[in-house]
Chain A
Amino acid sequence: MMKFILIFLLFISINAKEPISPIPVKADYDLKKALLGKSLFFDTILSKDRSVSCFSCHNVYEDGGADSRDVSIGFDHRKGNIQSPTVLNARYNFVQFWNGRAKNLKEQASGPLNNPVEHNMNPQEIEKRLNKIPSYKEEFKSTYGVSYISYELVLDAIVEFEKGLTTPNSRFDKYLRGEINLTDEEVKGYKLFKHYGCITCHNGINVGSNSYQKIGTFIPYENKRKYPDRSEVTKNKIDENVFKVPTLRNISKTAPYFHDGSSKTLKEAITTMSEHNLGMAISDKDANYIISFLKTLDGETPKILNAE
């Protein structure tokens, strides 16, 4: 009996104390809308020259929902100005985009569609194109009960799909829930993650993505060119080089790292972070421990991706 109570108390204390919380096993979303959003997500019809889709820069199958290129290539092979962040678990981000200029997924989704170097579209054009396609008309009719496909509904469907793009049941989540034990290395990595102070910014459900931080607090981070940082939104000099702290979920799959895609490997990224933001040099050994911890954050492939 005492044993049970002890386990129970331990369970409580773990859940209560750890500043990282697991992703809900079952994401709540409307399947029908999400499937419709899925079609749109993969459809290049949403770009002006029909060359790119959302999927082009958010490879939800292989690149952890992000882009393996330093910057994304959009319409007319034009280059984007920032490394594409992952779309996975984006619903748990406190704001969207690197600089938090979108309050929510819907605002976010609208961004690339209208960006001249990305999809280079406008709402009228999207509506015009989609309303010509019988299969879409039919699906929108059966899903939303409308005979005209509006831009708003297009966004709504995509957002619903994105809501389904969560990666639950990572080993770390299971560990948090007390379902499994991590390896010693992984545990050591997590401890170091905390001790070095990574956790002060990378916490919460998305292990990050709940605050802004300046890159290069100790040693200024040199940018090769100007990136759209937080100051673009706030018009405040103190926000220069300030970005949304990125999520570390599925981090092993979303290389390259940082807003400029300058770090190609996790170790590189960890070393850079230690140097610039923790003001210390991290040993190879410790970095490896942390990498093994970070890998426990890889979750399951979202169910919606396999759903028909």
Chain B
Amino acid sequence: MMKVSKILISFILIGIGSLVAIIYFYFIQRDFTQQHRKFIISINNLENRYSDITNLVLKNSLYIYVNQDNIAKANKKLEENYENLKNSKILLHKNYADIKKKVSALKKDLDENKKNVDYFLRINANIKNSLLFLSRHIDDSAILNKYDKKELLKARIILKHLNDVKRLQDLDYIKKEDYLLSSNSTNKDVQNYIKSFNIHSKFLVKEYPIFLSVTKKILGYDLNELKIHKIKEEFSAIAMKDFDALDRFAFVLLFMFLISFATIITLLLKYQHENKKLQETYSSLEYSLTYDQLTNLFNRRKFELDIEKTIKPTLLLININGFKYINDIYGNSVGNILLKYLTKFIKYEISFYEKVSLYRLGGDEFGIIFNDIASEKSLEIATKLEKDISNHIFKIKKIDLEISVSIAINSIKPILENADLILKQIKKSNTDGVAIYDESQHLKQNVKENMKIVKTIKEALKEDRIAPYYQPIVNLQNSKIEKYEALVRLTLKDGTILPPFKFLDIAQKSSQYNEITKIVIEKTIKTSKKYPQYRFSLNMSMRDISNKEIRDILFDALEKNKDAKIDIELLESEYLEDMKIVKDFITKLHTFDSKILIDDFGTGYSNFSYFSELDIDLVKIDGSIVKEITTDKRMFHMLKSIKEFANGMNMITVSEFVESREIALKLKDIGAVYAQGYYFSEPLEQPLDDENVII
């Protein structure tokens, strides 16, 4: 590319150079042509003036009465023309040095001619006058007629011959003649007449040779005219050569210009071609930056650009439920094909709408951006889409796949983040496939709901309808219930039992929380005293521990009931701020022979550093791991690892969410000690009297 532009530039320079040369050359040529023309005009003028003078001389010789001003004028003009010719610019050129010399030499000839013309005029005047006189003299010849007729006749013949000489320009007419009159008459008048006649005839005979030679010089075919003509011819020959040279040079320049012009065009085309190739590379790069390789949809990058540009965006964030498992079960190739098919499916579904674009945001997540759409409409579209997808059977490699999706709708900034939030909620709640993010509505609903719940709690507290339920924890190795986990429940007036997540979060925001905690603690202690064969564990979050009032309630109760067998299940959370408080709390509990459990281990905020720093007795393995161990090998291995890790740390594991016998047996097999779950029992109002269970 670089090379092409360098060549291009050099040819452009050559092109410009030759163009400048052409223009410069044009001026030179024009100048030369002008000079040439001026010289030709000058020399033509000189020739013409020369002819004029010749012509005027002829006229002057022919007519008696002539206005000689014309000759004087012609002479002056001739001189001017000669000056012009001599000063012709073209003669300064080297090639015309010879012409210049000849033009200079012409001056002498012209001066000579002028001298001759002057001389001619002088003699011509006298000759004309003498002939005039003689003609008149013959007219007045009465005296001669009277006394000497013979001489009169002679006079007439002489006059005729004198005229002939002039007319015929031939001296022979007078050479042989006796051109003088003589008479024997003694008459004085006759003698005077003859004397006058003879003066003039004598004069004419004397002047004629000079006159004829001068006339011949001027009129007789003429040297100067030939010279001028010759100069003109020589000049034209040289000029022709110069013009030829100029023509050739012009041709070369034009040729050079055309060559560089053609080269420039060629290079430009080449340049453009290469540019196009670059453009193509750029485009494909741009494509990969903009498009997803698998589905050919716009990618996340493009999505982020577009969402910025969209004025009133509504996002439908679509996620395939359990896509991970499809990949695990059928392999990535099937997963990829599913994504392609789904893309096609969604594309078709949204093809009925305007101002809409589909993006693959990553993994199994798709985004649809609508511009300027009512929330009802978007909800309608999403609902239909969700339903259509779940009703559709995707046939991939002879496998019939039925899938479901979650769709989050959001049009409130930050668009993607809010949609993500909703999508998580959907997944968590595992309820509806479609949810819309509407901040104001969401908050309002919450407030309303909260008020209702707060009221419910208040009433429940008043009517003592809040109480712990107890789920047994079984020792798998000896098939005996050894522990119970106290789980707070709120019994509504109609007998419906609410789990803690339905009211506890709201209670936490009010003063009711501590009261609930107190009730649970007190009632559990009371129950533990009633069933001394079991240990009872209470759930406490890090937030609870940080709360001095709750700590006091707990420790007060334990102090008063030293015989109660109470353990604490610590709920991990991001809330853990002051490690010292936790440490002190555990140390104090141990003085009451209480055991410490870590709840929900394996998920969330599990942090191994706890175990090195805190004196923990039991680890509760999270249900999401436990319930999968029979179906998912990895979960099983995970569980085993946790168990081994815990054992290594002198901790005993509790597996929750044991929902089948299969799981229970598998746990037992690997030597896991405690287990709890619906397989054994749901939380109960009162612990069982019989501690034995059959696995």
B58 to chain A, nearest CB (A): 16
In the complex, what residue of chain A is closest to B196 when comparing beta carbons?
A: A280
Q: Is A203 an interface residue (CB 8 A)?
A: yes
Contacts of A269 in B (CB 8 A): none
User: What 1/0 mask marks residues of chain B from 172 to 201 whose CB sits below 8 Å from any chain A CB?
Assistant: 000000000000000000000000100110
Contact A200 B128 (CB under 8 A): yes
Contact B132 A195 (CB under 8 A): yes
B325 to chain A, nearest CB (A): 110
Contacts of B126 in A (CB 8 A): 217, 277
Q: Is B576 an interface residue (CB 8 A)?
A: no
Contact B199 A218 (CB under 8 A): yes
A229 to chain B, nearest CB (A): 13
Q: Among B67, B124, B196, which residue has its beta carbon within 8 angstroms of that of A19? A: B67
In the complex, what residue of chain B is closest to A100 when comparing beta carbons?
A: B118
Give A213 to B128 CA distance when docked, in angstroms.
14
With A211-B122, A218-B203, A279-B200 as contacts: A21 and B129 at CB distance below 8 Å? no
Q: Is B245 an interface residue (CB 8 A)?
A: no
Q: Is B243 an interface residue (CB 8 A)?
A: no
Give A21 to B65 CA distance when docked, in angstroms.
12
Give A205 to B71 CA distance when docked, in angstroms.
13
Contact A195 B65 (CB under 8 A): no
Contact A211 B115 (CB under 8 A): no
Contact A94 B65 (CB under 8 A): no
Residues 191-223 of A at the B interface (beta carbon under 8 Å): 194-197, 199-201, 203-205, 210-214, 217-218
Give A281 to B124 CA distance when docked, in angstroms.
21
Give A214 to B126 CA distance when docked, in angstroms.
10
Q: Among B64, B69, B119, B136, which residue has its beta carbon within 8 angstroms of that of A200? A: B64
Contacts of A194 in B (CB 8 A): 65
With A197-B128, A234-B115, A278-B133 as contacts: A211 and B199 at CB distance below 8 Å? no
Residues 107-133 of B at the A interface (beta carbon under 8 Å): 115, 118-119, 121-122, 124-126, 128-130, 132-133
Q: Is A27 an interface residue (CB 8 A)?
A: no
In the complex, what residue of chain A is closest to B128 when comparing beta carbons?
A: A200
Contact B133 A21 (CB under 8 A): no
Contact B65 A279 (CB under 8 A): no
A194 to chain B, nearest CB (A): 6
A289 to chain B, nearest CB (A): 15
Contacts of A203 in B (CB 8 A): 65-69
Contact A94 B69 (CB under 8 A): yes
User: What 1/0 mask marks residues of chain A from 6 to 22 whose CB sits below 8 Å from any chain B CB?
Assistant: 00000000000111110
Q: Is B72 an interface residue (CB 8 A)?
A: yes
In the complex, what residue of chain A is closest to B65 when comparing beta carbons?
A: A19
Q: Among A17, A214, A277, A278, which residue has its beta carbon within 8 angstroms of that of B65? A: A17
Q: Among A205, A236, A238, A278, which residue has its beta carbon within 8 angstroms of that of B129? A: A278
Contacts of B65 in A (CB 8 A): 17-19, 194, 199-200, 203
With A218-B203, A279-B196, A279-B199 as contacts: A200 and B72 at CB distance below 8 Å? no
Give A236 to B122 CA distance when docked, in angstroms.
15
A187 to chain B, nearest CB (A): 16
Contacts of B133 in A (CB 8 A): 196-197, 278-280
Contacts of B125 in A (CB 8 A): 197, 200-201, 211, 213
A95 to chain B, nearest CB (A): 8
Contact A204 B129 (CB under 8 A): no
Give A277 to B199 CA distance when docked, in angstroms.
12
Contacts of A19 in B (CB 8 A): 65-68
Give A231 to B136 CA distance when docked, in angstroms.
34
Contact A211 B121 (CB under 8 A): yes
Contact A21 B69 (CB under 8 A): yes
With A19-B66, A194-B65, A218-B203 as contacts: A213 and B122 at CB distance below 8 Å? yes
With A217-B203, A218-B199 as contacts: A279 and B67 at CB distance below 8 Å? no
Give A7 to B203 CA distance when docked, in angstroms.
43
Contact B118 A211 (CB under 8 A): yes
A17 to chain B, nearest CB (A): 7
Which 6 A/B pairs are nearest by Cβ-Cβ distance? A197-B129, A94-B72, A204-B69, A200-B125, A19-B67, A210-B68
Selected A-B contacts with CB under 8 Å, 20 pairs: A19-B67, A20-B67, A94-B72, A94-B75, A94-B76, A197-B133, A200-B65, A200-B124, A203-B69, A204-B68, A204-B69, A204-B72, A211-B72, A212-B121, A217-B126, A238-B119, A277-B129, A279-B199, A280-B133, A280-B199
B interface, CB within 8 angstroms of A: 64-69, 71-72, 75-76, 115, 118-119, 121-122, 124-126, 128-130, 132-133, 136, 196, 199-200, 203
